[in-house]
Amino acid sequence: MEDIDFGDIGLKIGDEIVFKENKQVLVVGSGRGIPGNGGSLVHYPCCPGNLFTLRLMTKSLLGQKYAQEIDIWQLWEYQDKTLRDRYITHYK
C-alpha cells in the first residue's frame, strides 16, 4: 500500500486528525493542503515544536500490535472519514 502525502488529501498545517482506536488527537504539522506539498508530520496539540512522522506516532500508539504492513492511513480520521477513504474519494 502506498503512502499518502497529507497534501494529496487536502490536509494542511493545523488540521486535527484522530486515532480511531483511542481518539488521540494529533495536529498536522506539514503541508499546505495541495498535492505534492504535504508530507506526513504531526504533533501533539500542546507541543507544536515537536514534529513526528505519522508512522512513528501510530507505532507508538499501537505498541506491540504494530506491524510494518499495517495501512496506517486506515487508522486515522479527519472529519469522521479515514485518511485512506479520503485518498480513495479524492482520486476516483
Cα distances from 63 to residues 7, 16, 31, 58, 79, in angstroms, run: 27, 22, 27, 8, 25
State residue 65 phi and psi, 5-degree precision.
-80, -10
Residue-level pLDDT at 6: 92
Using the predicted structure, report yes or no on whether residue 3 has a pLDDT greater than 70: no
Grid-cell match 488540521, residue found: 15
Average pLDDT on 65-76 reads 92
Burial class (CB in 10 A: 0-12, 13-18, 19+), 44: middle
- At residue 4, the pLDDT reads 77
